[in-house]
Structure 1
Amino acid sequence: MSTATSLRPPTRAPGARLTSTVLAMAVLLFGLLLGPVAGQAHAVDVRLLQRDLAGLSYLPLSGIDGSYGPQTKDSVRHFQRDNGLAVDGDAGTNTMAALIAKVKQVQAKAGSSADGDYGPGTIGAVRTYQGSHRLDVDGIAGPQTMGAMNIDRITSSGPGTGTGTNSETQLLQRNLTGLGYLAAGGVDGVYGPATKNAVLSFQSDNDLEVDGIAGPQTKAALTAKVKQVQAKANTPADGDYGTATTDAVRAYQSSHSLEVDGIAGPRTMASMGIARELGGGTPGGESGGTPTVPPLDGSVRDKIVQAARSQLGVHEWGNNCNPYGPCEAWCALFASWAWRQAGVNFSTAFSGDFYYYGRNHGTLHSGLSNPQPGDAIVFGTGPQSTSTSVHVGLIEKAYADGTVDTIEGNSSDQVIRHHFSPAARGAYAIISPAGS
């Protein structure tokens, strides 16, 4: 008779059990140190991550819910693409370090405690910064606010956002230069800060997403605008603002009594009947309403100040619609309107034109010296384009300490008064009206 054999698991020696326990603990500790793998619950403070993403406009404020869901992952991917990180949607060590560092840059510029947490204190500080820099006051450090802070939002490489040299980038730069958004020396094939800022300006003018990325929509809009210029200048409309287009625009400018530089800037495009800034209205026509002006008396300067004061509190409506001209950025429309009320024959939608007016009429001040009521004060770095000449106001009163009161249109979407030191606020020119 055969004997049945019972099969039992082999008995482990005490030393083997101890080794197994130690290995299990080591694996657990290693996992805690490394954090969870992608797709699992994150060890990061998810609400901190979301506050920072929302503060930099990668995530809506409503997305701060403590849940690392699809919306948060997509926002992380967007931030990673912009900052040259591995695009996996996982907020690992490198991504969190880059995000916190970017928030600290914003906090430092806004005068807030640089702790890397975009909380209510930072939102309040950014709102204050935006209010003092004529930006939309929402407390969010989006592309325009970060641009004003001189913080590089996009540092990654690749098509449309990178730093590599290529013919596609040179075409983009030729077109931006031809339309006056980029300096002539900027055609170098490198998608650096100057090119990104030029793209931001073009996107803002053309009602596109303002992100500094020359994606398909931005490139299509830019090519279409160049083709409009080429058609008006009677040169082949191939969408490439090359030498032939520059020469054709020079010929057009010469025959229309414009400054001959071959660049289709604001004045040349206005002469061509091409809308440089989208948002409604037609060049040269008011977008709605008629300003109410009381009787004016006194000198030219007195009348300018009286006209400007009478408009304090006037708000825009819709998309930059205003009673002084078409639905577009209207600080220069307002300032030149006030000059015309005093009999000064001058009209423009571009702040840089005040500089050229002063140069042509001999009323351009030396530096920022001797400001007087009724003078125009222009902000930025120079009159070359809308990306360098960004705003204009009218001086209401000048003080012995060098500060001034101004009345400015399109400031926080209205006509409003400011007090400041011209140099400290970034003014580059003061211009008097002729005959004053």
Structure 2
Amino acid sequence: MTRRAMRAALGVVLAGALLIGGSPALVLAQPGGVSDQAQWRIRQDIVDNALREVGARETNANYYPQRYQEIGQGILRPAEWCGVFVNWAWTSAGVPDRPSMRPAPGTSVLDQGHWATYWQKWGKANGRWKDIAERDVAPGDAVVYGNYPDMHAHVGLVVEVKYDRTGRKATHVRTVEGNFDDRVVYSKLRKIEGLNAGKYLQASGFVSPF
């Protein structure tokens, strides 16, 4: 079942929102197929992982919580850490294929997951990229602000999506983003049109974990 067909069948992807232990938790509706259920479970885990971290802060300049580094090889600390946070949420949820956190030998130093817009390049190369104009997004997707190889850029995680009546086009998203004012933040529900992480950081699109 395609992502679009799945959403058309579901109508609304998010079944509800709860407040547990002071932290928001979102419950995603599951599709019918076994493989789709497995992927949706991972998406739920990405969302849960991200929401649990809301409010986490760096202790000094770019010394983000060490647990984000310990998830895998090649992760730098200290470092600008929005991409580190997305990698941690995807990795700890069990996403099998992710941007590498170190460049391959002989490639550009920009071609690794610490570089926010590399998520766009990687998504396009691996059939995971969804341009912002498509309004095709699901919880657990990474949202990229800027275009590769922009230096002024950012990347975060989608935790909630509101769709139109067809269930095919997203109208609003809510995100959790690391290294935003030196901490992990939980956004309000925002329109897809004009989605940004600051005046000069317009969203370019989304990267699916599958």
Same fold, judged at TM 0.5 (above): yes
- Give yes or no for the alignment of 1:416 onto 2:185: yes
Which of 419-428 and 336-345 deviates more? Answer: 419-428
SS at structure 1 position matched to 2:130: coil
- Partner residue of 1:394 out of 143, 150, 157: 157
| Map of 2:3 onto structure 1 | none
- Partner residue of 2:174 out of 405, 408, 432: 405
Letter in 2 for 1:372: A
Distance in structure 1 (CA, Å) of the matches to 2:80 and 2:192: 21
- Partner residue of 1:320 out of 47, 54, 62: 62
What is the CA-CA distance between 1:412 and the residue it aligns to? 1.6
Distance in structure 2 (CA, Å) of the matches to 1:366 and 1:318: 35
What is the CA-CA distance between 1:399 and the residue it aligns to? 1.0
| Map of 1:429 onto structure 2 | 205
Comparing both structures, which one devotes a greater share of its residues to helix? 1
What is the CA-CA distance between 1:366 and the residue it aligns to? 3.6
| Map of 1:361 onto structure 2 | 126
Comparing both structures, which one devotes a greater share of its residues to strand? 2
- Give yes or no for the alignment of 1:352 onto 2:122: no
What is the CA-CA distance between 1:421 and the residue it aligns to? 2.2
For the aligned residues, what is the CA RMSD?
1.8
- Partner residue of 1:338 out of 72, 84, 89: 89
| Map of 2:48 onto structure 1 | 306
| Map of 1:376 onto structure 2 | 142
| Map of 2:26 onto structure 1 | none
| Map of 1:142 onto structure 2 | none
Distance in structure 2 (CA, Å) of the matches to 1:320 and 1:366: 30
Q: What's the CA shift string for 1:318-377, capped at 9, x where partnerless?
A: 111112241121111101110101222424211112112211221111434221100000
What is the CA-CA distance between 1:400 and the residue it aligns to? 2.7
What is the CA-CA distance between 1:405 and the residue it aligns to? 0.6
Which blocks of at least 5 consecutive residues in structure 2 are unaligned?
1-37, 70-76, 102-112, 165-170, 197-201
| Cα pair 2:118 2:149 within 8 Å, conserved | no
Distance in structure 2 (CA, Å) of the matches to 1:359 and 1:400: 24
Distance in structure 2 (CA, Å) of the matches to 1:366 and 1:432: 11
Task: Identify which of structures 1 and 2 has the higher relative contact order when contacts are C-alpha pairs closer than 8 Å and 6+ apart.
Answer: 2
Distance in structure 2 (CA, Å) of the matches to 1:352 and 1:404: 19
Which blocks of at least 5 consecutive residues in structure 1 are unaligned?
1-296
Q: What's the CA shift string for 1:176-220, capped at 9, x where partnerless?
A: xxxxxxxxxxxxxxxxxxxxxxxxxxxxxxxxxxxxxxxxxxxxx
Query: Taking structure 1 as the reference length, what is the TM-score of the superposition?
Result: 0.30
Letter in 2 for 1:433: P
Q: What's the CA shift string for 1:279-307, capped at 9, x where partnerless?
A: xxxxxxxxxxxxxxxxxx96121111111
Q: What's the CA shift string for 1:134-183, capped at 9, x where partnerless?
A: xxxxxxxxxxxxxxxxxxxxxxxxxxxxxxxxxxxxxxxxxxxxxxxxxx
SS at structure 2 position matched to 1:320: coil
Letter in 2 for 1:418: S
| Cα pair 2:162 2:173 within 8 Å, conserved | yes
Distance in structure 2 (CA, Å) of the matches to 1:400 and 1:331: 26
Letter in 1 for 2:143: I
SS at structure 1 position matched to 2:48: helix
Judging changes above 3 Å, is the alpha-carbon distance between structure 1 residues 383 and 334 closer, same or farther for their aligned structure 2 residues? same
